[in-house]
Amino acid sequence: MTNLLQLDDVEAGYGDLRILHGISLQLAEGARLAMIGRNGTGKSTTLKAIMGLARLNGGRISFGERDITRLSPRARAYEGLGYVPQTRDIFASLTVEENLVAGLKGRPRRCIDEAYRLFPRLAERRNNGGNQLSGGEQQMLTVARTLLGRPRLLLLDEPLEGLAPIICIELMASLETLCRETGLAVLLVEQKVDEALRFAQDVVVLEHGEAVFTGPSAALREQPALLEQYVGVGGEAHA
């Protein structure tokens, strides 16, 4: 299977602070990869490095058949990278529909129906302002707006943080449907370990900016001692 994303010995951080120490990983077309670990181990920094938002101190990042190491974040987005940060960056003063229009990247306005089919809850609130939405609805809006740009790879930074259990289920079910129907690849950073391992076929565990486990999610589930050591959960993984 062809690699869509490849990181080779990536070192990255912010200013003089180095967070990542030689991260290497591969993600195939249409694959789902979870990245887990304790707080401060470099998970979010990895996504920002891929997107061009963290300072790269060494290594190489390839997307498709192209070296994107020196591309701007905007250029990476147009190559097919979609990034959903923890901060749920919606336009609070705009309606749901106006937020979605902002994500079309020149596509016809009628294409926002794709977002409403994926998240019917947004269709019900299309005329509500962004500041009138719940946290879960804001997360759905952020994901939907990113998806309207038709990324080949979706980078998700803790999308379930602070969400009610029913919203978590709804959001992840929508993403699973989308991946199955479109072949979208996903790199998911998530503290809710059980949900992350259930969603992704493969997993990377980070510790102090280094990968300490890379392999199938099912294999990690069978190593509760490793989960306890590096993530803080064991047995039946939970957040």
In the chain, the largest separation of any two C-alpha atoms, in whole Å, equals: 51
> Any idea where the domains of the chain sit in the sequence?
3-89+149-230
What pTM was computed for the model? 0.91
Kindly report, residue by residue over 9-48, the tens digit of the pLDDT: 999 999 989 999 999 999 999 999 999 999 999 999 999 9
CA atoms of 42 and 200, how far apart (whole Å):
19
Residue whose C-alpha is closest to residue 178's, from 118, 138, 107: 118
* The pLDDT of residue 234: 56
Share of the chain above pLDDT 90, in %: 80
Q: Which range, of 54-58, 87-91, 235-239, averages the lowest pLDDT?
A: 235-239
Mean pLDDT of 207-214: 94
* The pLDDT of residue 163: 87
Please list, in sequence order, all residues whose beta carbon lies within 8 angstroms of the beta carbon of residue 94, skipping any fewer than 6 positions away. 102, 129, 130
CA atoms of 197 and 188, how far apart (whole Å):
10
Question: For 32-57, b where at least 16 C-beta lie within 10 A, e where not — what string?
Answer: bbbbbbeeebbbbbbbbbbbbbbbbe
Kindly report, residue by residue over 142-199, the tens digit of the pLDDT: 999 999 999 999 999 999 998 889 889 989 999 999 999 999 999 999 999 999 999 9
Contact between 35 and 46 (Cβ < 8 Å): yes
CATH number for the domain whose boundaries are 3-89+149-230:
3.40.50.300
Length of the chain: 239
Please list, in sequence order, all residues whose beta carbon lies within 8 angstroms of the beta carbon of residue 52, skipping any fewer than 6 positions away. 68, 71, 72, 73, 75, 76
Kindly report, residue by residue over 126-153, the tens digit of the pLDDT: 999 999 999 889 999 999 999 999 999 9
